[in-house]
Chain A
Amino acid sequence: MDTKLEDLVMKLNTASTQEGTRFDAMLTDNGVMEVICSNNDEFPIHVAMTDTQILSVTPLFHINEVQEDKRVELNTLLLQMSPAIPLSSIGLQEGNYILFGSMALNTSFENIVHELEVQAENTLDVLEAIEELLQ
């Protein structure tokens, strides 16, 4: 069964995980779902859908926030880190560094919740690792 963003919003707002993570979800004007996870409420996850997949994106920082002489070092570090991060990858989208995951449209709600929780946790791990390269 395909998932709709509207349904996800409803379900997420009453969901909680084994670790006690709760979610605050809403639909934005451009049809993207914004989710704040209680284990990391500073970096919301943006969820969008295509014909075949669910994309969960956490914008991390803009390239302008990186010290200019550290950009190559940062990129290398992020590429090295990416395979080690569970369920999420690192990308660059219009100057924004993003952490993202993609799921099939028929992914179960439990797995979506798990993915979001892990992504919120991953965000902290990645940012801690590269913090000193930022402005």
Chain B
Amino acid sequence: MSILKDMFAALKGAGNEMGEAIIDANAVRILEQEIREAEEAINKARQSLTKLKGTEISMKRELNSLNTDISDYETKALEALNQGNEELALKVAERIAEHETDREDKSGEYEKLSAEVSKINTMIKNRNKVIQKNKRELEKVKTIRELQKTTSSISTNFAATGSSANRVSKALERVKKKQAKWKDTMEAGDWMAEEGDVDDLNKELKEAGIGANSVTGNSILDRLKAKQGASA
């Protein structure tokens, strides 16, 4: 059964809305133990596999050399027959028979050994699957454990302050106020920057003698005189 179902089955059964700590320390220990055992088993299997594989290879070599010998003797037996030396050919044939018996025994052993090697390989693969699955399960448990840590301090805080109504609303309001203030400051900054630009422009215009900015006593007197002249 998956560990998630295990962990949360208790909750459902109890009809517990609150959700208590549900990490079963035992389940974690069992998982960790299974991982360790599977890893040990794999290590042992790998060691014996190395030995078996060595034997397998040397047997294969022996079989190959028997095969070569047999075909060698066969050629020689044929040659003896060609020479009409039946007696010698029979001797060679007897040697071939010995070798073939030997080959039969050895190839039987070899096949058994090969089967054993592939069985161990499959076993290692399966154990690896178990390890990977258990590690993922363990990760789920550890995630829940870390989650509990992240909320454990806050739940006491909530309990301490949570009795006051509208805790969340009040906090939201404070954040929103700060954000509004921050936005205002930003806008003020933009405004200041724009104003700065305008001032610079006016200054430049003034320096160039452009614009109606150069109001002086003389210019006003001139204007008045012109007015007087016009009405006279």
Contacts and interface: CB of A to CB of B under 8 A. Distances in A.
A42 B171 CA distance: 6
A64 interface: yes
Nearest to A57: B150
A107 B51 CA distance: 43
Interface range on chain A (Cβ under 8 Å from partner) = 35 or more
A3 interface: no
Given A48-B146, A124-B175, A94 B155 contact: yes
A45 to B, nearest CB: 9
A50 B168 contact: no
A51 B142 contact: yes
A6 to B, nearest CB: 16
Given A46-B154, A48-B149, A96-B151, A39 B179 contact: yes
Given A50-B143, A93-B147, A62 B175 contact: no
Contacts of A63: 17-18
Interface stretch (A79-87, A109-117, A127-135): A127-135
B132 interface: no
Interface residues of B, number: 33
A96 B168 CA distance: 13
A74 interface: no
B32 to A, nearest CB: 12
B158 A59 contact: yes
B169 interface: yes
A49 interface: yes
B172 A65 contact: no
A42 B172 contact: yes
B172 A128 contact: yes
B150 A55 contact: yes
A48 B152 CA distance: 12
B165 interface: yes
Contact of B158 (A30, A32, A57, A61): A61
Lowest 7 A-B CB distances belong to which pairs?
Answer: A46-B150, A42-B171, A48-B146, A57-B150, A59-B154, A95-B18, A50-B142
9 contacts: A30-B149, A41-B175, A51-B142, A52-B139, A55-B146, A62-B158, A63-B18, A93-B147, A96-B158
Given A93-B147, A95-B18, A134-B169, 16 more contacts: A28-B153, A32-B146, A39-B179, A42-B171, A43-B175, A48-B147, A51-B139, A53-B139, A59-B155, A60-B168, A61-B158, A61-B168, A62-B162, A65-B168, A98-B147, A98-B150
Interface of B: 17-21, 139, 142-143, 146-155, 158-159, 162, 165-169, 171-172, 174-176, 178-179
